[in-house]
Amino acid sequence: MAENMVRCSRCHEVFDANEGPCTKCGTPYRPPVAPPKVYEGLYAERYAGQVPPTDSSVVVVVPPRRRANVGLYLGGGAALMVSAVVILVLAATGVLGGPAVTAAPRRVLPVTPAPTAGPTLPPAIAKTLSQLNDPKLSAHITIDSHITMSATVAKSASVIVKFDGEVSNGNESGVLQAGGISQEIRLVDGKDYSKILPSGNWVLSPAVASYLVICPVFGLDSSKAVALIGQDTRGGQQLNHLQSTDEWSPDMSRLAMLDLSFLPYWPDKSVLDLWVTTDGTPVEATFSGWSLASDGTKLVDVEVAYTFSAVGVPQTIEAPGPSTSPSAL
């Protein structure tokens, strides 16, 4: 091959470069381009001998770009933050010589203790209990009691007892009706005087029957024995309504003003309702005591109603005159 003979880069035909383009396909002859200069230290230095030849006449060499060191920046920033925190802690504790920072005291909220159980009754009701528990209470009292028994347990179906009289300074005086008999009674200085009405003589009993003693009334000896239910309007008055609780142990004979030991079945259920004025003065009360059979019928039923008036007004109650007979009833 002559010195000017070249091979076509397209069809590989051999032709004379001085005579013009390829005689076969007409592709003009382009002299080879010198390889680009490789800078020392570049990535291309290792692979310089493997760069394929290009038919471009211009080779643009781009200088290497610096890598973005984002990771280094983040790591350095985190280290600076940690250092700043350590310095602040040392300064706060006085290690670096500065004044130590005193931490603000924690706010402690006061703890309110749980309320302890106390009297559930207002002062006016406490006054009521004080009056009813006073053995020297002065008042006009009426008592109306009805004792009913089922015909299956007793021949006598019912007993009625009524009292209308006064209590004052530990004494009693009034008319007692029981079993169809009316008699006047006086309990004076621990002695029991009675006479059959209308024309009987006074008789002194050897002992006072406990069921005839009215005061203290109801035996409500504790504030836990009653509870305030609410207010009721009775007889045109706004009254506080009290009711007995399970803490109350009633003396039913005294409540009925009759010895109830004859009952074949003792009442096992009972409730006392009491109405008093807003200042604590007793006005009226009802008592119910009963015992039920297995079928729900009442074997025994004790119902008693009370009224109070002239509460706190002293009365003069004296023993009968010298004609009183000392004989027993």
Q: Is residue 80 part of a domain?
A: no
**Cα–Cα dist 201/197, whole Å:** 9
- Are 47 and 169 in a shared domain? no
48 and 140 co-located in one domain: no
At residue 3, the pLDDT reads 62
CATH number, residue 234: 2.50.20.20
Does residue 134 share a domain with residue 44?
no
Residue 82 lies in a domain: no
SS (H, E, C) 38-85: CCCCCHHHCCHHHCCCCCCCCCCCCCCCCCCCHHHHHHHHHHHHHHHH
166/300 same-domain check: yes
Q: How far apart are CA 203 and CA 192, in angstroms?
A: 8
CA separation for the pair 36, 50 (Å, rounded) = 13
Q: For 108-129, give one letter per residue: b (16+ CB within 10 A) or e.
A: eeeeeeeeeeeeebeeebebbb
Q: What is the pLDDT of residues 21-63, one digit of tens each?
A: 887 787 777 777 665 555 555 554 555 555 455 444 444 444 5
Q: What is the mean pLDDT of the chain?
A: 79
The number of angstroms, rounded, from the C-alpha of 249 to the middle of its chain's C-alpha atoms is 30
pLDDT value at 71 more than 70: no
* Burial of 141 from C-beta contacts in 10 A (0-12 / 13-18 / 19+): buried
Query: Could you tell me if 297 and 149 are in contact, meaning their C-beta atoms sit under 8 angstroms apart?
Result: no
What total of structural domains would you count in the chain?
A: 2
Q: What angle do CA 50, 56, 60 make, to 5 degrees?
A: 75
Question: Is residue 158's pLDDT more than 50?
Answer: yes
Return d(Cα 139, Cα 171) in angstroms, integer: 11
Say how many C-beta atoms besides its own lie within 10 A of residue 279's C-beta. 10
Q: What is the pLDDT of residues 257-316, one digit of tens each?
A: 999 998 888 888 999 999 999 999 999 999 999 998 888 888 999 999 999 999 999 999
How far apart, in whole angstroms, are the C-alpha atoms of residue 215 and residue 257?
Answer: 11
155 vs 275: which has the higher pLDDT: 275
Residue 29 lies in a domain: yes
129 and 232: one domain? yes
pLDDT in the model for residue 131: 95
Of the ranges 26-30, 93-97, 167-171, 233-237, which is most confident? 167-171
Q: Are residues 127 and 26 part of one domain? A: no
Domain end marker among 29, 52, 75: 52
Q: Is residue 69 part of a domain?
A: no
Structure-token match 């781009």, residue found: 62
Give 170-179 pLDDT, tens digit per residue. 999 999 999 8
Q: Verify that 290 and 142 share a domain, yes or no.
A: yes
* pLDDT of the residue at 45: 53
Specify whether the CB–CB gap between 43 and 61 falls below 8 A: no
Considering the domain architecture, whether residues 175 and 291 belong to the same structural domain is answered as yes
| Residues 134 and 46 both lie in one domain | no
Whether residue 24 is found in the same domain as residue 130: no
Q: Is residue 256 a part of any domain in this protein?
A: yes
Q: How far is CA 292 from CA 261, 267, 270, 296, in A?
A: 18, 8, 12, 6
Q: What is the SS3 string spanning 94-146? A: CCCCCCCCCCCCCCCCCCCCCCCCCCCCCHHHHHHHHHHCCCCCCEEEEEEEE
Q: Which single residue is written with the structure tokens 């471009």?
A: 56
* Residue 240: inside a domain: yes
Count CA atoms within 13 Å of residue 22 on its CB side.
16
Domain of 203? 123-309
> Strands 191-196 and 203-205, how do they pair?
antiparallel
Domain presence at residue 65: no
pLDDT value, residue 11? 81
Is residue 16 located within the same domain as residue 141?
no
Percent helix, strand, coil in the chain, to 5, is 15, 30, 55
The verdict on 134 and 281 lying in the same domain is yes
189 burial level (CB within 10 Å; 0-12, 13-18, 19+) = exposed
Residues 6 or more apart in contact with residue 63 via CB below 8 angstroms: 39
Please indicate, yes or no, if residue 151 is contained in any of the structural domains. Answer: yes
> Which range, of 61-75, 158-172, 198-212, 264-278, averages the lowest pLDDT?
61-75
The reported pLDDT for the residue numbered 105 is: 46
